Structure 1
């Protein structure tokens, strides 16, 4: 029997565990045991934007009212009917919260394979790639937790920074990041901080996370949400990681036409999502990281993009693991109760900003 964690799409707090007979394999299929995965506010964003961004489509439940929340992590092949994918091999990729999964392996190459099921062909290719750990130059067995927790988030951070620089920061100097304690936000702040003198980076966060956010050292200034009305009245870019309409409204009302660009990225404040009504200043634009990745891969070549990303990732990881002041503590848990508790805490916003949770079913 296969066990999986299922969420009610229109009520993210309603969840259950499904048990179903393990499917038999057809030619080209592989069965993988899902060993470990990260569960972060990024996964809450996947659920909150599941309809708009098609995240529910990767692992359909067979019931259009429910969905599997996708997660990043590692899995081991336990059965294979695909030449070139061998039992015992380990892969990094995009999984359901479950104990195992069957994938249709296509385009097999030394670095991994692509998921080629019919229902995934129209979905973005970046989520359909499964990386063979033995061939991944960035893989380290002692850094699996950091990779699962941060690599997909940092790729987004890197691409936000690159997108803004690619557009000369829209003529602005301050870049304002909401949900500044979140991993994607401080990854972006880290990248921006490497551009010494180009921009200043302002973080907006809750009072509970203000001390942690200031301690990171990659923000020039950190304000609590209630202080958004004191933002400097200068040409600025707003990068909305929270999706909170009240925060977005406060920033837009404070800056109005001084907002050179308003960029919507995440939904860490998933329960405060909405259009926000008529806002002064520019219309918020949804940022979809794979689009910027596609642009840069065309300009730099896929290897050029990966080399730049790998260089930035190495520098970021060194700061994450700093011996004197690490930015993240890994918390490892196992079992259904642990999954439910972590998921609920993420919905409630009670997971400490300095923690990263690695789980297994």
Structure 2
């Protein structure tokens, strides 16, 4: 057997190559999983764009300078096991490489799942090291695997952004401006924010995506990027930046004299990524979802946090899959050429916002 992996040039994300290596025998306590299906979204491009700063390249290192593997969310099946508590055939949801297979080292095994105890991941955030057993997962249904892979990790971030802002009373603002409003994490955030009384949710997007964003029904207003002057310059507002466009960020910090908070989430505008230094107003801070998870897990307990998340997910996934006007249409890609083409399309940021890409190497 062999494993096939898509590697990305860290300093030039459009450059890719395939690496194939022969599978070695498992050490005691390891499992080999076949990665059946994984999602590819602009969130994964963010992982690459912030790979060094946020340690995303460290989850599945290539061992070769300059080359990395982008982590993805998806479903896998255990095909070999030397671990007494993880049987062959078990299906799990988690954070995998863009590859056909990978080897994991289960630790802290419970009825709900286990963590990958590989030594190089010991210092990385445990949220990303967790594998969830589908058989006991309250989120899981077999017929919605694609929606889960595409939207569950993004919606978790969306839910946490909304929770973080509410936890801080929106920093005294009542207008929340979201860039890249057609992106899945942005509209998940808007879905949550729309349920907050007295909060105006303004989505910024390109002209071609205005109709899509308006059709979702969760934005108070949808504006194009050159329509910032439609928002009062002295409005007390929060900026939630999903685009990572440095020019747009500067324009917002310059225009809004009463900007209360500026949160950087992602980098869908890869070609315009830039530093957030020397900006007027509040310092642009990178939102790190696991920190808010840890805070709420401490305050509510893991069960209380999970209960709130599951309830919110069920409401959101119902809206996404509404008959006649779904927010998400799944497109499946099999094989190397199809995976490379899907990656190039998502990287370009010019795909149909209603499409969700599910891949299999």
Scaled to the shorter chain, the TM-score interval is over 0.9
Q: Which residue of 1 aligns with 2:286?
A: 286
Structure 2 stretches lacking a partner, 5+ long: none
Instruction: Name the structure 1 match of 2:179.
Output: 178
Alignment of 1:12-91 (within 5 A): 12-91=13-92
SS at match of 1:301: helix
Match of 1:223 in 2: 223
Map 1:226-241; keep pairs closer than 5 Å.
226-233=226-233, 234-241=235-242
Question: Cα offset for 1:346?
Answer: 1.1
Report if the CA contact (8 A) 2:242-2:266 is conserved.
yes
Residues 229 and 251, structure 1, Cα contact 8 Å, conserved in 2: no
Cα offset, 1:64, TM superposition = 2.5
1:250 CA drift (Å): 1.3
Q: Distance in 2 between matches of 1:208 and 1:276?
A: 27
Contact 1:23 1:102 in 2 (8 A): no
TM-score with structure 2 setting the length: 0.98
Question: 1:350 deviation in Å?
Answer: 2.0
2:156 alignment counterpart:
155
Match of 1:118 in 2: 119
SS in 1 for 2:87: coil
Q: 2:285 matched to 1:296?
A: no
CA contact (8 A) 1:235 1:259 kept: yes
- Deviation, structure 1 residue 276: 4.7
Q: 2 CA distance for matches of 1:290 and 1:277? A: 24
Number of aligned residue pairs: 359
Distance 1:32 1:315 in 2: 31
TM value normalised by structure 1: 0.98
Query: Equivalent residue of 1:34, what SS?
Result: strand
Alpha-carbon offset, residue 43 of structure 1: 0.4
Compute the displacement of 1:230 (Å).
3.0
Give the SS at the match of 1:50: coil
1:22-73: CA deviations, max 9, x gaps?
A: 1210011000000000001010000000000000000000113110000000
**Structure-2 separation of matches of 1:267 and 1:335:** 27
Per-residue displacement from partner, 1:266-306 (whole Å, max 9, x unpaired)?
11112211115522111101100000000000000000000
- Cα distance in 2 for residues equivalent to 1:229 and 1:254: 8
Contact 1:246 1:276 in 2 (8 A): no
Q: What does residue 360 of structure 2 align with?
A: 360
Determine the C-alpha separation between the residues in 1 that align with 2:146 and 2:102. 20
- Asked if 1 retains the 8 angstrom alpha-carbon contact of 2:138 and 2:310, the reply is no
- Counterpart-to-counterpart distance in 2, 1:229 and 1:270: 25
1:232: how far off?
Answer: 1.9
Please tell me whether residue 268 in structure 1 is matched to residue 268 in structure 2: yes
* Residue ranges of structure 1 left out of the alignment (5+ in a row): none
The match for 2:329 is 329
| Separation (CA, whole Å) in 2 of partners of 1:61 and 1:35 | 21
Cα distance in 1, alignment partners of residues 118 and 43 from structure 2: 25
Secondary structure of the equivalent of 1:317? helix
Q: Contact conserved, 2:94 with 2:131, CA < 8 A, in 1? A: yes
CA distance in 2, matches of 1:48, 1:229: 30
